[in-house]
Amino acid sequence: MTRPEIDLCVTLGRIAMKNPIATASGCAGYGEELARFYDPSVLGAIVTKSVTLEPRQGHPPPRLAEVRAGMINAIGLANVGLEAFLDEKLPALAAYDVPVIVNVAGSTREEYLEVCAALDAAAGVAGIELNVSCPNVKEGGIEFGLDPAVLTRLVEDVRAKVSRAALIVKLSPNITDIAVTARAAVDAGAEVLSLINTLRGMAIDPWTGRPALTNVIGGVSGPAIKPVALYMVRRVWEEVAGPRDVPILGLGGIQFAEDVVEFIRAGATAVSVGTANFVDPLTGPQLVDGLREALQRLGLASPRDLVGALNLDR
Amino acid sequence: MVTESVNVHSDTSPPQRLGLAVLERRDAGRNYTRLVLAAPPAWESLPGQFVNILCESDPRAAAASERRPIEWDEGGEWPVAAGLELGRGKWPVVRRPLSISRVLRDGAGVRLEVLVRQVGPGTRFLAARPVGAPMDVVGPLGNHFTPPDDDRLCVLVGGGCGVAPIFGLADWVRQLGRPCVLILGATTLDEVPAVFRSPPAATGDAVAPCDGMADPDLGSVEAILSTDDGSAGFRGTAIEAARRRLKDAGDDRPVALYGCGPERMMRALARLAERRDAPCQVSLECFMGCGIGVCLSCAAKVHDPASETGWTYRLTCRDGPVIDARDVVWE
């Protein structure tokens, strides 16, 4: 039996990826840290830590705690700021043969517009991922991400500033029906939907009563949230992304190649991997190899053949 | 008996993810276990650096390392995407950062020692790994202590699990031929992460070298024990013991202070160094998400004249764990 030649290439909006595996924002720094372990060029894309207009120190520690089957964090959007990102981080990232997607957070509409416009003009930015879903920072954009009318206005305004880079909107799961914000984002011009960001959560020391995080609440990530993320990808794919032909960048708790297959079957075109990078810095390349193996097993030539493919027969 | 020489090379290996087998597992005081891992011959790390060890979030790997029968057919069915074992209580997810305690060369082999303090399920898992079990290790990570370039007296202070890198630093300083005093602090004798040939004497108010430390065997290094309850060595804090030992050395004697231990101890050591106008390096301890500089969780507050607020955050995993004590904003 001849096996089909496997081609892992996918297209995420206008971004050509050599495979569907990307790093998730906040879990791969600006690429240089993971580059100590492997060549980032083997990835499909790198999504950077959030960039804001001004540098941010982030929240006082503790910023991260382990919870059952996952972790909870409130880093507080610590980042070097737009200027240092463009001057120091982006040139190094752009040197790798991998599309760079820059995650952007802001506290005001003006901040989003200024940062997005500057990034769109910068060489080496393949995509802009609008973070309208950081659960930990009041001014981190979540108020833009939960009200569909507010989200529509922001995405429309950003759309007008972004012409070269692909515009990706990262949706919050902290909402009753994620299809509502997904629709608002697509109507306003989002080319790609990225979901899900972390789920709001808490951890408390039972004996001292002290919250595990200084920020008290944080975002839950890791394997614990995978079923929720899968459902939300499916919901958005059925209601918005599938019918409108908008690709989904799926994420939430992915750790093994089987998880990637599940996300693609739910409707994702590509996936991002976050928390798993902390457990194993080599997760990215392992998922690329693992996905190839999985497709071989399924007798498929491309992950594109698997997007949305559920088998509902019993 | 194998003669072991201490690693004194000054270049360190780039961090890697490695499977290292457990060569030995030794008790090292109550709740402490000393694990010896078989590192590759090319391993180069320096005292202060750490390794980040997986507590097996993949049950397949956990089964393999516990030498339990693997219940699924690896060769046949596509292995299940088991993820985490939700039924087994609070199963650890992220790695546990452990200071490299000592690096011993034995022929072509490198024996990497780490000290595990059993605190929760993750460290209990690590402490229970049987000899021969593979450990999933990322390292060496972080920066290292720097010995002085003159022959000033090095005073190395370790508290609790913080003695781990201090042992390795003692090896290095001794190898360089510099005078060195080791001060080990604990609440009580049982909590000292070392093994003694015979129970060390309680010396009350006197600061005196303690003989008979068998594991680790640091050779001729002067070691002073301090316990809060006076059950062995000096009765009082390690810092008070250090202060008295420095007084004995004479006020004019140039010294360098090094420390790893609880934050309160490190703060007191920093103050002692300041009064003495001595250089002081401390290794900071904190919970880490990734250990490789991406999660940004292990932020430590440091002075930064260039910043408006006068301080900034520095990552303990990437820019530490060793830091000049004068840079730390003690809170």
Each domain of chain B, given as residue ranges in start order, spans 5-69+83-141, 153-263
Query: Distances from the Cα of B301 to the Cαs of A207, A263, B65, B219, B270, in angstroms?
Result: 27, 39, 38, 37, 15
Please state the ipTM of this predicted complex: 0.87
Confirm whether A83 is domain-assigned. yes
Confirm whether A80 is domain-assigned. yes
A25–chain B nearest CA distance, Å? 10
Query: Is pLDDT of A69 > 90?
Result: no
Mutating which of B295, B302, B317 best tests the A interface, going by the most A Cβ atoms within 10 A?
B295
CB contact under 8 A, B289 and A28: no
Which one is the CATH code of B153-263: 1.10.260.40, 3.40.50.1220, 3.40.50.80, 3.40.1360.10?
Answer: 3.40.50.80
What is the average pLDDT score of chain B? 86
Torsion angle (degrees, nearest 10) of CA A243, A244, A246, A248: -30
Could you tell me which of A221, A217, A216, A215 has the C-alpha nearest to residue A279? A221
B154, B134 contact by CB (below 8 A): no
Domain count, chain A: 1
Q: What's the average model confidence in pLDDT over B33-57?
A: 92
Confirm whether A132 is domain-assigned. yes
Query: Does residue A116 have an active-site annotation?
Result: no
Which one is the CATH code of B5-69+83-141: 3.40.1170.10, 3.40.50.1820, 1.10.8.640, 2.40.30.10?
Answer: 2.40.30.10
- What CATH number is associated with residue A287? 3.20.20.70
A78 touches B at CB < 8 Å: yes
Query: Is pLDDT of B51 > 90?
Result: yes
pLDDT in tens, B166-211: 999 999 999 999 999 999 999 999 999 999 998 899 999 999 898 8
Confirm whether A313 is domain-assigned. no
A298 touches B at CB < 8 Å: no
**Per-residue exposure over B256-283, b if at least 16 CB sit within 10 Å of its own CB, e if not:** bbbbbbbbebbbbbbebbeebebbbbbb
CB contact under 8 A, A281 and B138: yes
Q: Which domain holds residue A223?
A: 10-306
Paired tokens of B200: 């060390």
Torsion angle (degrees, nearest 10) of CA A230, A232, A234, A239: -170
CB contact under 8 A, B287 and A65: yes
A55–chain B nearest CA distance, Å? 11
Tell me which of A9, A27, A116, A134 is the catalytic residue: A134
d(CA A52, CA B195): 52
A81, A53 contact by CB (below 8 A): yes
Closest-CA residue of B relative to A254 is B83
Residues of B in contact with A58 (CB under 8 A): 296, 299, 313
pLDDT in tens, A30-61: 888 999 999 999 999 999 999 999 999 999 99
